Amino acid sequence: MRTRLLTAATTFVALLGMARAEPCLPPTPVPDFEHAAIRTTDLGHRTFLLEGVSGTVGGNVSVIVGDDGVIVVDDMFGQMYGKLKAAIAAITPQPVGYVVNTHFHRDHTGGNGAFAQDGAVVVAHENVKRVLAGGSRSGLTCAVTPPAPEMALPKQTYRDTMTLRLAGRTAELRHPVDVHTDGDTTIWLPEANVLIAGDLAFFGRYPNIDFLYGGSIDGMIRGADELLELVKPDTVIVPGHGPAGTPATLRDFRTMLADARERIARLKAAGKTEEEVVVARPTADYDAKLKAGERGIGNFLRVVYRSLPQG
Write out pLDDT tens, residues 229-253. 999 999 999 999 999 999 999 999 9
The predicted pLDDT at position 54 comes to 67
Q: Residue 12 — pLDDT band, cuts 50, 70, 90?
A: very low
* Integer Cα distance of 28 and 173 in angstroms: 31
- Whether the pLDDT of residue 20 is over 90: the answer is no
Tell me if 219 sits within 8 A of 179, measured CB to CB.
yes
Question: For residue 23, what pLDDT is reported?
Answer: 80
Element (H, E) at 141: none
128: left (phi over 0), alpha (psi -120 to 50) or beta: alpha
Structural domains in the chain (count) = 1
pLDDT at 56: 77
Look at residue 256 and tell me whether its pLDDT is greater than 70.
yes
Which pLDDT value is given to residue 311?
A: 64
Q: Residue 89: which residues within 8 A CB-CB, separation 6 or more?
A: none
H or E segment and range at residue 26: none
Amino acid at 29: P
Q: Looking at the predicted structure, is the pLDDT value of residue 1 above 70? A: no
Q: How confident is the model at residue 3 (pLDDT cuts 50, 70, 90)?
A: very low
The rounded distance, in Å, linking the Cα atoms of 110 and 126 is 17
Q: What is the domain-level CATH number for residue 111?
A: 3.60.15.10
Query: Of 201, 280, 306, whose CA–CA distance to 248 is shortest?
Result: 201
> pTM to 2 decimals?
0.93
**The pLDDT of residue 53:** 85
Domain of residue 239: give its range.
2-307
43-59 tens-digit pLDDT:
999 999 999 986 678 99
What's the average model confidence in pLDDT over 137-152?
Answer: 97
| pLDDT (average), residues 286-305 | 98
Task: Quote the pLDDT of residue 279.
Answer: 98
Please, which residues bridge with residue 282 across strands?
none
Question: What percentage of residues in the chain have a pLDDT greater than 70?
Answer: 92
Average of per-residue pLDDT across 155-175: 98
Q: Are 62 and 187 in contact (CB under 8 A)?
A: yes
The tens digit of pLDDT for each residue in 188-243 reads: 999 999 999 999 999 999 999 999 999 999 999 999 999 999 999 999 999 999 99
d(CA 193, CA 117) in angstroms, rounded, equals: 31
